[in-house]
Structures are given as C-alpha cells and as structure tokens.
Amino acid sequence: MTAGDFDAGFLNRLGALYDAYVDEYRGADGKLPPMMQLKREHTAFVVANAKAIVAGERFDEHTARVAVAAALLHDTGRYEQLKRYNTFRDSDSVDHAVFSHDIVREKGWLAACEPSVRDAILNAVLWHNRRDLPPCDDAVTVAAAKVVRDADKLDIFRVLERQVATTDWRYDCQAFWNLPTTAKPNPKAVEAIMAGRPVDYQNIQSLADFVLIQVGWMASGLNYATTRKLVVERNHLPFRRDFLHQITDSPFVDQICDYAESRLS
C-alpha cells in the first residue's frame, strides 16, 4: 500500500497507513504498551506543531505538505525499537531516525510520490535527531527538516513539563537519564550554550544541564519565528527558570535564561 499521489488527500492516506502500522503493536485489548502510547501522542503533538509552524511561516502548500508528512513519520521506528530492544535509548539500541527512515522506505508508503518529494520526506525523517543538518541544496528538504526539528523540540518542552509534574523527580530521576538532581551546571555545557553551540552529550552531567540545554535551544536552536512565538505563548522559558531555581542556586541559571529571553523576543 502507498499513500498515492501527492495531492490534497495525501496526508489523510498517509495517516491511515501510519495508524494501521501502529495498530500492529497493540495488545489483545486494543491498547498500545504505555511507552508506545506516549510516542503515539508525541507524534500527534509534533504533527500539530508542524501544522502551526507551516501556517505561521506561510509556506506554500507543497512544502507544507512535505513538512507535515515528515513530522508524522519522524518517529516511526520508535515502536519497533521498543519491541526489539526494550529501550528508547539510541546508544543502547539503534539510531531511531535511521530506523524510522528505513521502515518508511521498506513499507513503500511513499513509493507513488515523485522522487524529489519522497527524498525530501525521507531525509527530513533521517536528519531529525542530528546535531547539525547536513549540507543540502534542496529548499523543500531543508524547510521540512527544519520544521520537524522545531516541532519535535516544542513537544520535548511539553514532555519535560509533564514529567516534572507527574514524577517524584527529586528521588526518581529515571525520566531524566538518572542524572544527579542537585549537581551544579557543568561549566562546559554553560559555555557551549552561551556561545550558541550545541552541547555535547558527554557534557550533560546534571539535571540542571539537561534543562539548560532546552533553554539553549530557545536561545539559538530554533529555526522559525513561529516556533519562538509558540515557546513564548506556552510559557516554556518561565517554567524552566522556576524549575532550575528549585534545583540549583547557580548564577548561570538567570544568565542563560535572560539570554534566551532576549533571543525569543
């Protein structure tokens, strides 16, 4: 089965194929295992964010459709990753973006699309978790990849806030990679954020670093003005400033949050 021509009904048909695929992971009771259900919900939020970004940026219909399709498919491999390896940690299993790309290609959902459309969607999926986007001179691919990366980050902001609200994070930091909750920010992470550089994963050594990285995205990791506007509307920065004050008295907190605030306005 393919999603067929890249016309107005394309996203609906692709959505139906995606849902039928996810249904294969449901138990006899019709439910997904809870961790998979969270990924399904994440995907729905990422799609909604992508739609908001392409509307806010007034993208043409073609580019918008490519971007939203890539948002729908970006985490396709998460279900099989959890089933096979019982973890979402890529370093202990597979690169889930490569896995997602390969599954979408093997399923042939995009087989009826023009090669340029198919490649744009597949590359946006493949590149969604890379530290940096590889060089690419196809404007539609670049736009779709940037939308997916922004839409994904917006939902990562939502997920952190839900985890803080629903877990006893001072004692059980499993949702935050078991990082020490009271350790001060790593100066190397702070330096990278203030310089507008991505933080290397080995420099994430405390819960504060984990949260500050997200503040760093707000300062320099978001591609579109619409994304930054949504961050402001959803109060994601004040939430992190308050939370960081609860976990550390480091002066870096206000320094980085002030910097992000200036970049968001």
Residue 155 found at the interface with Fe ion (CB under 5 A): no
The single residue among 10, 42, 50, 75 that binds Fe ion, judged by CB under 5 A, is 75
Contact region with Fe ion (CB under 5 A), list: 27-35, 45-53, 69-77, 252-260: 69-77
Contact region with Fe ion (CB under 5 A), list: 39-47, 74-82, 153-161, 209-217: 74-82
d(CA 152, CA 230): 13
Sequence-distant (6+) residues with CB within 8 A of 165 are none
* 165 membership: H or E segment, kind and range: helix 139-166
How many residues contact Fe ion, by CB under 5 A? 1
Sequence-distant (6+) residues with CB within 8 A of 184 are 206, 208, 248, 250
What the block records as the tokens of 83 is: 């089933």
Contact region with Fe ion (CB under 5 A), list: 15-23, 67-75, 136-144, 182-190: 67-75
Question: Minimal CB distance to Fe ion: which residue?
Answer: 75
d(CA 177, CA 187): 19
Nearest-approach distance from CB 112 to Fe ion, in angstroms? 25
d(CA 3, CA 61): 17
75 or 209, CB closer to Fe ion? 75
Q: Annotate each residue in 19-58 with x if it binds Fe ion (CB under 5 A) or - if it does not, as one string.
A: ----------------------------------------
